[in-house]
Amino acid sequence: MDRRLEGARVLLGVCGGIAAYKMASLTSALVQHGATVDVIMTPEAERFVGPLTFSSLTARPVYTSLWDAPERIPHIRLVREAQAILVAPATANTIAKLAHGIADDLLTTALLAARVPVAIAPAMNTAMYEHPATIENLTTLRARGYEVVEPERGFLAERESGVGRLASEERLFEALALGVARRTSLAGLRVAITAGPTREAFDPIRFVSNASTGATGIALAREAALRGADVTLLLGPTQLEPPFGVRTLRFTTAEQLHALALDHAVGSDITIATAAVADWRPAERAESKRKKSDDDLLVRMVRNPDVLAELGARKGATFLVGFAAETDDHEANAREKLARKHLDAIVVNDVRDERGFGPGENTLALLWSGGRRDLGTAEKSLLAARLLDELIALRENR
């Protein structure tokens, strides 16, 4: 018997597609494997299968409206009690609502409040699934960290064959099991993450900085929190918002980051240093704006503290991960940094022509003593999940 869901709390969202009837079998399987299952049905789903079916299988109430037990605020309570959520069958309508933040029923309202892994399993006619709007909406949801359980090719309700048939019960079960494992894989651990650029001023309005936005560190902080970690995010100047519910401490200069890191990263279980820290700062900072003149401006620069090297010297039992943004000899430079700064692992990427900066895609490789794993090219939320999967395995085998 598969025991991965034994004792787990899962939430099943059932939408109004013909495949809704298949959710009864999945619910029964989940219960038989020891899971506690709550079910939310959309009004359209009730046209295909009755709530009594699911309440009989789960021995729990089935929720169909925001006004079911409103004193208990079901859209908040249900997602906070769940360890993972599966929406199946996910209709084109529900997918579109989620992509655009529309919350007009219990299911979409609950999902908007969810801070746990969510998998969605589309099921619809091939023409609807392949429509550019649906493709774009699914891309948006993947970028936000949703797991999409792709539909299969087969016989459809319209008496034709094509892509759009709901994924098999085995794949849906696996999606929930992986979601639960993801939700608890860092439970009880302290994780510190540094992110964003530093700014080193030489007058009140001018500074030396770089193109980092902190997007990778923010994605890692969000993913680590989803996995149950107690996360502290040390975040430099950026226009991106930190993840909801994550303890976030701000810095501007390398010296400020140095002080915060010694207070909050030393002694953590895992520290991931993604911040792009300036190696030098102006030796002097003018109190007033430097006025333009016909003369050249010469600014003397002095070394900043090496935050990562100092964390390496003090790491103790901390699993310490660095980042190397390189333009040439990527792996050789990253491996030299790995050894010199006493890191357990290092992530390297090519930043020529400012590639990899910003909230879009990046291409990463993970290196450790005697090993390498390419993480591929993907949205940063997906890369964060892949990276944490690898780091957890490395830490366990250390």
The verdict on whether 397 is a catalytic residue reads no
- For the chain (length 398 residues), average pLDDT per consecutive 10? 84 96 97 96 96 97 85 82 95 97 95 92 93 95 88 81 88 90 87 95 87 92 89 95 88 96 96 94 87 83 93 95 84 91 92 63 90 90 91 91
Burial class (CB in 10 A: 0-12, 13-18, 19+), 4: middle
pLDDT of residue 86: 97
Question: What is the C-alpha separation between 278 and 200, in angstroms, rounded?
Answer: 8
pLDDT of residue 358: 61
pLDDT of residue 327: 74
Q: What is the pTM of this model?
A: 0.71
pLDDT of residue 356: 53
Q: Which domains, from first to last, does the chain contain? A: 9-184 (3.40.50.1950), 190-397 (3.40.50.10300)
pLDDT of residue 352: 66
Q: Are 197 and 237 in contact (CB under 8 A)?
A: yes
Q: Tokens 């090496």 belong to which residue?
A: 306
- 180: Cα separation from own chain's centroid: 14
pLDDT of residue 154: 80
Burial class (CB in 10 A: 0-12, 13-18, 19+), 321: buried
Question: What is the C-alpha separation between 370 and 45, in angstroms, rounded?
Answer: 52
Of residues 93, 210, 304, 362, which has the active-site annotation?
A: 210
pLDDT of residue 4: 83
Question: What is the C-alpha separation between 254 and 259, in angstroms, rounded?
Answer: 9
pLDDT of residue 304: 93
- The shares of helix, strand and coil residues in the chain, as percent rounded to the nearest 5, are 35, 25, 40
